[in-house]
Structure 1
Amino acid sequence: MTVFTESPLRPDRQEHVDHVPLGLSRSSETVYRAMLGSPRFRLSELAECLGYDVERLAEVVEELRLEGMVADSADESEAVRAVEPCLALRALAARRLCATRGIDPVPRPEAVERLINLREQRRSEREFESAGLDELAAVVERLVAHADREVVMLVPESERTSCEFSRLIPEWASRRGLTVRSVWRADVIRSAARRAHGAWLGRQGFEVRVVRSVPLRAVLVDDAVAVLGDDEEVRVLRGTRQVTEVRRIAAELWNSASPVRSGSTSDRGAEVAGSRHATVLRLLAEGLTDDGIARRTGVSVRTVRNDVASAMSRLDSRSRFQAGVRAARLGLF
């Protein structure tokens, strides 16, 4: 097992996070780094590797799950997997940075970059499998982390799913100003949990449609890359002809499908605020003054100053410009 850590693994009851580079408690960071060493783990296996008791480990894993760092395995019952750090840590940073309450630390850009680079190195060395729904999720998470415009998901079933019903991807997309469109097979909506997820997506401003049959499991990113997968193979298509065919299928399904009603009005206020924070940080990096940022964002100078002060504090920056640069390194805009 590859362990993504720079220090010995040991249980640590001290949960001080003020100086933890990834913004996690020491035990949470230890567990997350260890989980990156394998496509999935049962808790008993992971506890044996780390020397934790299973009950204590379950608590830490649940903390990581709440932060969007861990997800259930789609390939093995009662197993869990680490969400790709290029998405999980950047989403965590965005959430912490834009939070109006709480003092949880924002992950440090240099620590995030080191772990992402190490992860990419390990994947390039083919230490990971190339089949299964967990691998499909990993590939999609890495692509979505760098998406610029749109994510389209084709969902052929409800029981065994990859990342189609994750909230992390839509939350990240919303903060980045991306569009998310989903086409589900009609019987997926019979599940109360799936209906609730569809309603939640609608409240975020993302549309879900249902159609009688969806012939393939696929995710399109920016109309440029298509990821297809099942139990036996995960394929990443980048060639124009192949991607065009998947786009054609997706367009035909979308145009023939029926919208799923969200059941309530949009509640994207927090996401709009998060988008404003990202815009403020981008303009800081460009060197704009408070007055200039206020004019560009349509808010008061006082609001801009509050946003800037909060960003400088949470990003541990000595200047406005440094705050913008650090936010850029985290991929927040």
Structure 2
Amino acid sequence: MREACESGTDCHNGGAPCGNGVEYYLNAVRAGLADQSSAPACLLRLQLLQPVPGTEQSLTPIRPSSALAMLVRPIEEEIHQRQAIAQGLQRALDPIETLYNAQQRPTTDLVMLTGLPAINAAIDDATERCTSELLTAQPGGSRSVTVLTEALQRSRDLLARGVRLRTLYQHTVRHNPATMEYVHQVTDAGARAQVRTLDELFERLIIFDREVAFIPARSDRQSALEVRNQALITFLVDVYEHAWQRATPLAPRGRSREEPSVVPSIRRTICQLLISGYVDEAIARRLGMSVRTCRSHIAKIAEQLGSTNRAQLGYLLATSDLLGEPDTTVPE
């Protein structure tokens, strides 16, 4: 049997057998025989002409599909052999892969969580595992009654296990009855729960036992990043602690100490944002208040400074002392 056409061999020319190969092949088909001494080499390489048993020089033409089958068979056999080798390697390495995975940490340092069900499931799992401390930053002002009810039960469960809770809100929650009721119930439950407020707060942040943290991955909060990298967690805790030191405590009910007014701080921040060129809607969003409340504060500031329009207000703010020391007060 003639050898199959090897890679790079000129077995065909432009998709057809070489030279007069087609004509020779068709004549052989009509005659039923061909002479080996005159047969074109390309027909032999393509196995279109096969030796006649019992003769030395006679060849017989065969169907092209049969020739193709003979040419492809060794290629298929080689493929099967290589597949068998690949499967053998996989069987050999699979047990080692299992041992390798067993030595690795169960999770990576950074995990992207997409969708609220996945986010809530991860946070619930971290809550169950929390044993000593939970740090939370909740920007955006007041929260819904449903969210607060669920949060209250989780907080009580954590406090019952001896976990310390610290929560940062924005000053505007002080004027929201539902949020204040939640705060009072949590702080009344034990001294391990503390709540403070700031005029402006960074994005939402939850840190469990300084071992795992959750931060938003997008502004719509439909995805989150689960952080277990200790360098990043140390940085996030440091950011949180700096904000905590600047925040104003929100005392539980029944304590004699009266909390200082947060209105001057809010209005000072509004002044700073106005000078920076923020519009009312953006200021309200950053401070967690309604646009109406924001504009009410701006009106009070303008009234104090004697401003009649925004351009004049910007000039008066820049030349006044309202952006100076933190204890500067703005009358209500």
Tell me the TM-score range normalised by the shorter chain.
0.3 to 0.5
RCO (CA 8 Å, sep 6+): is it higher in 1 or 2?
1
TM-score, normalised relative to structure 1: 0.38
TM-score, normalised relative to structure 2: 0.38
Structure number with greater Rg is 2
